[in-house]
Structure 1
Amino acid sequence: MSSTPDSAPAKPLTFRRYRDGDHQVKNWQSEIFDADHSHKCPTYIQSTPPCQGSCPSGEDIRGYLNIVRGIEKPPAGMPWQEYAWRRLTEANPLPSVMGRVCPAPCESGCNRNQVEDFVGINSVEHYLGEYAIANQLAFPKPTHSSGKKVAVIGGGPAGLSAAYQLARKGHAVTIFDERAELGGMMRYGIPGFRTPRTVLDAEIQRILDLGVQTRMSCRIGTDVTLDQIKTDFDAVFLGLGAQSGRPLPVEGSEAPNCVTATAFLKAFNDGRLRHVGKRVVVVGGGDTSIDVATVARRLGHIDQVHESDRPEHAITGHVAHDVAEVSARQGADVTLTSIFAVEKMQASRHEVEHALAEGIAIRGGLAPVKVIRDAAGRATGLLVVRCEAKIAGGKLEIKNIEGSEEVIEADLIVSAIGQSVDFTGLEALNNGRGGITADKNYQVQGEASLFVGGDVVRPHLLTTAIGHGAIAADGIDRFLAGEPLDKRPKIDVHTWDMKRKLVEKGVTLSEVHEPIRGTDSNSAAIHNFDNRSDRYVIPHEELFLGHFPWTARHRRKIVTLTAEQALNNFEERVLPLAESEAIAEAKRCMSCGLCFECDNCVVYCPQTAVFKVPKGKSTTGRYVDTDYSKCIGCHICKDVCPTGYIQMGLGE
């Protein structure tokens, strides 16, 4: 039975906000603030996702994950793995290395943490890096030469990144490095079971194949003056690195068997250090201290150590431990101390877990007081005191607890409390704080042709140094072209490019490509699209999280060793995802700030105003369009957009 009286006139239902005949607003400026009206219709706003905003090298993470998951299609004839790798390496030329050792701040920032767990970005990067090496992918060589020469001082991550970006721009690049091989701390700091040397060599060689020249075992400031380099080259990038360790600032630290972490790791990576003694104490709390502790656990000790075989001789000199080859290794007791509580240490959580599993004792809340020495001057232990440490107002505050002192016995003490830059021969560059002063383009103050990056600016992550190198390369390129160095964008990341994608697909808007936003009908524009990636990071509050079901993360296989298994085990611990796992993990990405073609807006639009763009004209980011003659500004499309790509803007 109908609930409407028969006498009632039939009237079609409508969800429009205007009365019949009143649907066209002639002067919307005068009515725009009416509380009971809406003149807002869908606009398509590309924003930076927090993963990219948290990535120090500025990778287009969302972009390559969308390629891996199959949303963005590669050009005809190109495997998706190669297309994703090429997108990734626009920012970072060392993905296989970084996929292993980067602590992945991108994952901490991932909006997926609001659903269940972050996307395994690092593991997908690792997979793509391995694919590129296995398939011998190469970077395309520059199509032109600028005729300009650039010197890159330092062959670590900052220098390699700068050299890579500069070579792609057509400049002739020469890398100078005081070591025998390139890689910086990736080779001489991080142990090989974390960065396999075959992987590091492959990714460095790919950069050199762009035409980058090298001068190894050549130290600027000693073998060649900086003035000579400035005369011979049009611009200089200073990626000096911080490879001088800091000794413990306590009495007795001059003991011969009290060494720095950088000296320890270099001796190990050079192949000189073969054993460490029965009791090793590492002072630190960061990833470097974990590297020292895990290396010490693997090297162990040997009985019947003669004076010439003591570990400090291999660390501070150039004497190899040949005796270790014929002696039975035994485990070492390794203790790592930190002024911070264990859960507040700077080291990556999974590295801490590895160390604990391998039998390394990690003790937080301990401050070194004094190195205990015997009559011969060698360290026999480290006096420590319980403490409470915190950072307040940007400064470290340590409060020692009186009466809590104890001695930790040691045959070798390693200081991993920080690193410094060796300015020998380059003293004029030292700003008095152990670094070089530069602006946001990393141009050295008062030296227009000098640019800088990496630990000499601010000791941080390897991927931070890669980002510095890329930004400095942009500045050098503009300097060489005689262009002013513009202010860097607020959010300095590599972003997905709508116009490039349209050109790649063969879609032409018109001969006029600007403006690219602000209309729903002009063929010279992309329908109401605005790229705000340079200034806006999209938070999870703007996403429709209800769209995403709980999905477990696909984890890499990580080999965890016991204390006994770790001894003399230098095999790699982190294994890459399989292809199917990489795809499945990429599908967990929520594509924050960019359409991933879920169809929600089309399905839920009550006016059928939102529609799919015809296949011949569609591409990533241009999957749907809006007919503003039908749109009533109900906001439903925005509410159900999982990625926050749809925002409500002005429209007619």
Structure 2
Amino acid sequence: MGKATGFLEYERINPKKRAPEERIKDWQELKLPQDPEVLKTQGARCMNCGVPFCHGGVLLNGMAAGCPLHNLIPEWNELVYKGQWKEAYQRLVRTNPFPEFTGRVCPAPCEGSCTEGHIMEPVTINSIEHDIIEKAFAEGWVAPTKAKPTGKKVAVVGSGPSGLSVACYLNAVGHEVTVYERNDRAGGLLMYGIPNMKLDKGVVERRLELMKSSGIKFVLNTEVGKDIPAQELVDKYDAVILCGGATKARGLDVEGKELKGIHFAVDFLKANTKSLLDSGLKDGSYISAKDKNVIIIGGGDTGTDCVGTSIRHGCKSVYQFEIMPEPPAERIEETNPWPEWPKKLKVDYGQEEAISLYGKDPRNYLINTKKIVGNENGEVKEVHTVEITWVKNASGRLVPQEVPGSEKVWKADLVLLAMGFLGPEDTIPNELKLNRDARSNIKADYEVFETNVEKVFAAGDMRRGQSLVVWAIQEGKLVAREVDKYLTGKSVIK
């Protein structure tokens, strides 16, 4: 620890963001630069807690507790406090190949398990990580990685966080890596699933250019299983790693689900980002929320991104429906003890913007959609809902029960479904006859990652189901280690 009494002397200072009324006018990132002196004192708050739960990276009650990448957080906090930024960067990238991504989009389970957070406010781990890597890029410390070639060729299917991670690590030990991506730009959900105001696409392109300079090849506009057979990769390469994500979106099975104006959130967000990058939205090739009453069914980060995007389009109104109860304002120790992820109410950037613009939080809890009604042209015009409570049935399982007399009709011109994902698409698993688990994910044990097909490995959301970016990066690292062992008999990847 840098300063023994730092956690007693300094209060937590959250990173500043641009004001909602300013940022909703553009697509630029939310965060403002931080004063290095502020970062120094925030690093000093990291206490000598003996057992740093912040980098535990375990699942407690089904949720991440601590950093899945096992980042050496106390070490680089101390180095930032001492002004040793280059050393802090070197510590950071020992465990995390892409801090510029996690520093922007990770919900920071490390902070949820911070020992200091058990008794006061946790250390600002996420923002310190962000500023370490940005200083490293500014100072020119981040450079392409070269290694002696092994002669082995590897194909990676999918260029999201797990695909980029495995490509980075396998390239670093000398294997020839080719990444296949069906979209016109690499990056997967980092490029098209997360809006620009959370993760500027210049940040993604900056990393991709480094990877290309390191020798990694990217084949774009090529969908494995359709444009080329998956078996062709198995025959051509020494190993194939499937990192295609869990991209099968969950639908809504109610009357009116086929009406015009109902879209999956992922399609809404992807089209917006592509149009923004292609033409600054001038080509009109996106689903516009301008002057529309928008209903978003589903909470979570994707729902929040839909709120922020709709507001920037100039929507008339925006509401979010969540079937679960509103989280408590603070952690309830009896049911959600530290160091579990704190299940408490969070007002994210999209909700902040809606409150600033409309005067109220757009979220509505314990509400279920009964049907969607359209006009004479087959376009959505109303969403009919009912309030629910959660009760235990005869087997003790919680089930929703409607509240009599709570029916409500909402005006709607655009309905966005942000209810999560059901698993990977079927094309590649069906072609290669891959075994699937009970949730339809590709079956491959954690820390082994081998499928039932020789030479074929799987990692990230395609293997574990919808999860955090930080888990995808960690799985990419670990599958790279196993593939390296498969190809050479040993590995230095840890």
Alignment CA distance shift 1:253-1:215 (3 Å): same
Deviation, 1:188, is 0.6
8 A Cα contact 1:247 1:259, kept in partner: no
- Separation in structure 2 between the aligned mates of residue 334 and residue 168 of structure 1, nearest angstrom: 46
Aligned to 2:70: 58
Alignment CA distance shift 1:186-1:141 (3 Å): closer
Cα displacement string for residues 50-83 of structure 1 (whole angstroms, at most 9, x for unaligned residues) = 111111233222232232223xxxxxxxx83222
Asked whether 1:133 is paired with 2:137, we answer yes
Aligned to 1:99: 103
Deviation, 1:442, is 4.3
- Separation in structure 1 between the aligned mates of residue 169 and residue 354 of structure 2, nearest angstrom: 40
Deviation, 1:460, is 0.7
- Secondary structure of 2:327 counterpart: helix
Cα displacement string for residues 474-497 of structure 1 (whole angstroms, at most 9, x for unaligned residues) = 1111111235x9xxxxxxx97xxx
2:420 to 418, 440, 457: 418
Aligned to 2:355: 357
- Secondary structure of 1:129 counterpart: helix
Query: Map of 1:487-636 to 2, 5 A cutoff?
Result: none
Alignment CA distance shift 1:389-1:173 (3 Å): farther
- Separation in structure 2 between the aligned mates of residue 361 and residue 332 of structure 1, nearest angstrom: 13
Cα displacement string for residues 596-639 of structure 1 (whole angstroms, at most 9, x for unaligned residues) = xxxxxxxxxxxxxxxxxxxxxxxxxxxxxxxxxxxxxxxxxxxx
Q: Percent identity among equivalent residues? A: 30
Aligned to 2:439: 433
- Separation in structure 2 between the aligned mates of residue 92 and residue 282 of structure 1, nearest angstrom: 34
Deviation, 1:200, is 1.6
8 A Cα contact 1:252 1:370, kept in partner: yes
- Separation in structure 2 between the aligned mates of residue 263 and residue 90 of structure 1, nearest angstrom: 35
- Separation in structure 1 between the aligned mates of residue 396 and residue 49 of structure 2, nearest angstrom: 34
Aligned to 2:332: none
Alignment CA distance shift 1:129-1:332 (3 Å): farther
Cα displacement string for residues 242-275 of structure 1 (whole angstroms, at most 9, x for unaligned residues) = 2342221222111121110011101111112273
- Separation in structure 2 between the aligned mates of residue 149 and residue 455 of structure 1, nearest angstrom: 24
Q: Is 419-428 or 160-169 further displaced after alignment?
A: 419-428
Alignment CA distance shift 1:46-1:237 (3 Å): farther
**TM-score in terms of structure 2 length:** 0.76
Aligned to 1:275: 288
Deviation, 1:369, is 1.3
**TM-score in terms of structure 1 length:** 0.58
8 A Cα contact 2:429 2:442, kept in partner: no
Deviation, 1:346, is 8.8
Structure 1 counterpart of 2:375, which letter? D
Relative contact order, higher structure (CA 8 A, sep 6+): 1
Deviation, 1:343, is 2.4
Query: Map of 1:168-567 to 2, 5 A cutoff?
Result: 168-271=172-275, 272-273=285-286, 275-276=288-289, 277-300=291-314, 331-343=315-327, 349-351=347-349, 353-358=351-356, 359=358, 361-389=362-390, 397-419=399-421, 420-427=423-430, 428-429=433-434, 431=436, 433-457=439-463, 458-482=465-489
Alignment CA distance shift 1:207-1:95 (3 Å): same
- Secondary structure of 2:318 counterpart: strand
Deviation, 1:368, is 1.1
Cα displacement string for residues 266-321 of structure 1 (whole angstroms, at most 9, x for unaligned residues) = 11111122731420000001110010111001102xxxxxxxxxxxxxxxxxxxxx
Structure 1 counterpart of 2:323, which letter? I
8 A Cα contact 1:290 1:351, kept in partner: yes
8 A Cα contact 2:434 2:453, kept in partner: no
Asked whether 1:49 is paired with 2:52, we answer yes
8 A Cα contact 1:91 1:470, kept in partner: no
Cα displacement string for residues 571-606 of structure 1 (whole angstroms, at most 9, x for unaligned residues) = xxxxxxxxxxxxxxxxxxxxxxxxxxxxxxxxxxxx
8 A Cα contact 1:244 1:421, kept in partner: yes
Alignment CA distance shift 1:389-1:354 (3 Å): farther
- Secondary structure of 2:473 counterpart: helix
* Aligned pairs, number: 404
- Separation in structure 1 between the aligned mates of residue 479 and residue 396 of structure 2, nearest angstrom: 27
- Separation in structure 2 between the aligned mates of residue 286 and residue 131 of structure 1, nearest angstrom: 31
Structure 1 counterpart of 2:286, which letter? L
- Separation in structure 1 between the aligned mates of residue 397 and residue 153 of structure 2, nearest angstrom: 42
- Separation in structure 2 between the aligned mates of residue 417 and residue 383 of structure 1, nearest angstrom: 17
Gaps of 5+ in 2: 1-47, 57-65, 276-284, 329-342
Gaps of 5+ in 1: 1-44, 71-78, 301-330, 486-492, 495-652
- Separation in structure 2 between the aligned mates of residue 354 and residue 430 of structure 1, nearest angstrom: 44
Aligned to 2:61: none
Deviation, 1:396, is 6.5
- Separation in structure 2 between the aligned mates of residue 193 and residue 116 of structure 1, nearest angstrom: 30
- Separation in structure 1 between the aligned mates of residue 398 and residue 482 of structure 2, nearest angstrom: 34
Deviation, 1:187, is 1.2
- Secondary structure of 1:253 counterpart: coil
Cα displacement string for residues 507-550 of structure 1 (whole angstroms, at most 9, x for unaligned residues) = xxxxxxxxxxxxxxxxxxxxxxxxxxxxxxxxxxxxxxxxxxxx
- Secondary structure of 2:419 counterpart: coil
Aligned to 2:45: none
8 A Cα contact 1:287 1:347, kept in partner: no
- Separation in structure 2 between the aligned mates of residue 442 and residue 405 of structure 1, nearest angstrom: 50
8 A Cα contact 1:178 1:217, kept in partner: yes
8 A Cα contact 1:356 1:362, kept in partner: no
- Separation in structure 1 between the aligned mates of residue 353 and residue 404 of structure 2, nearest angstrom: 30
8 A Cα contact 2:156 2:180, kept in partner: yes
Deviation, 1:335, is 0.5
- Secondary structure of 2:224 counterpart: coil
2:92 to 77, 88, 92: 88
The structure carrying a bigger helix percent of its residues is 2
Bigger radius of gyration among the two: 1
- Separation in structure 2 between the aligned mates of residue 469 and residue 254 of structure 1, nearest angstrom: 38
CA RMSD of aligned residues (A): 2.7
Query: Map of 1:7-86 to 2, 5 A cutoff?
Result: 49-53=52-56, 54-70=66-82, 80-86=84-90
Q: Is 453-462 or 433-442 further displaced after alignment?
A: 433-442
Deviation, 1:389, is 4.3
Alignment CA distance shift 1:430-1:180 (3 Å): farther
Alignment CA distance shift 1:333-1:422 (3 Å): same
Cα displacement string for residues 115-173 of structure 1 (whole angstroms, at most 9, x for unaligned residues) = 42100000001101211222233346243222211111000001001111111121111
- Separation in structure 1 between the aligned mates of residue 49 and residue 351 of structure 2, nearest angstrom: 38
- Separation in structure 2 between the aligned mates of residue 209 and residue 63 of structure 1, nearest angstrom: 30
- Separation in structure 2 between the aligned mates of residue 181 and residue 348 of structure 1, nearest angstrom: 32
8 A Cα contact 2:372 2:382, kept in partner: yes
Deviation, 1:86, is 2.5
8 A Cα contact 1:173 1:212, kept in partner: yes
